[in-house]
């Protein structure tokens, strides 16, 4: 790909040479797109702004590693923005899950649930779910959360807890039965 087919390539080359003026130009040309990607993932303006700033710092630091033969500059930058936003989202979700696993139903956890749940009706369901999760023994509760929230397989959970896969299956089955019973009350 040559400089003419990718208008951002010359700017990335200048940034790789530590040209600070090029960062401002790149920001002016791309920030609305990258911010939009980040905001769609995080759904919080304040956090998206911080992540967007981190993305441009990463672009500044990694511009020398950009390889135009692998794709357009905007695609590379969008991937950085998307991946960073997903990392932040997972980190925030993990904090919520850890709180639920630990039985910590603090105001911070409730407000975090509201941010990711989509509103008040979902918030009530999430609080109910977390109360029911709090009634399950710690290890089976962790297994359910790790399996359903993060997609860990039974084999991965068995390795993590150093038990046979059949034990993990039993823990999850019993925990889900317990959850169902609690949620039907």
Per-residue pLDDT at 104: 47
pLDDT tens digits, 105-159? 444 444 444 444 444 344 456 667 777 888 889 889 888 888 877 777 898 889 8
Has residue 182 got a pLDDT over 60?
yes
List the one residue out of 66, 58, 65, 116 whose CA is nearest residue 82: 58
- What are the structural domains, with CATH classification, of the chain? 9-89 (1.10.1740.10), 91-183 (1.10.10.10)
CA 103/CA 138 separation, integer angstroms: 9
Q: 36: how many CB neighbours lie within 10 A of its CB?
A: 14
pLDDT tens digits, one per residue of 1-35: 444 588 899 999 999 998 888 988 999 999 999 99
pTM: 0.53
DSSP assignment letter at 1:
-
């Amino acid at each position: 790909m040559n400089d003419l087919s990718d208008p951002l390539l010359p700017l990335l080359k200048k940034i790789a040479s530590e040209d600070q003026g090029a960062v401002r130009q790149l920001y002016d040309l791309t920030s609305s797109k990258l911010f939009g990607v980040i905001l769609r993932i995080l759904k919080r303006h304040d956090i998206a702004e911080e992540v967007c700033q981190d993305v441009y710092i990463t672009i500044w630091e990694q511009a020398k590693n950009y390889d135009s033969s692998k794709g357009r500059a905007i695609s590379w930058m969008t991937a950085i923005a998307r991946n960073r936003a997903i990392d932040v989202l997972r980190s925030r979700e993990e904090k919520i899950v850890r709180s639920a696993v630990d039985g910590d139903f603090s105001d911070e956890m409730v407000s975090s649930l509201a941010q990711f749940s989509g509103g008040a009706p979902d918030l009530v369901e999430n609080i109910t779910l977390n109360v029911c999760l709090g009634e399950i023994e710690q290890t089976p509760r962790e297994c359910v959360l790790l399996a359903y929230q993060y997609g860990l397989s039974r084999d991965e959970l068995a390795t993590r807890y150093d038990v046979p896969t059949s034990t993990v299956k039993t823990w999850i089955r019993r925990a889900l039965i317990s959850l169902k019973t609690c949620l039907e009350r």
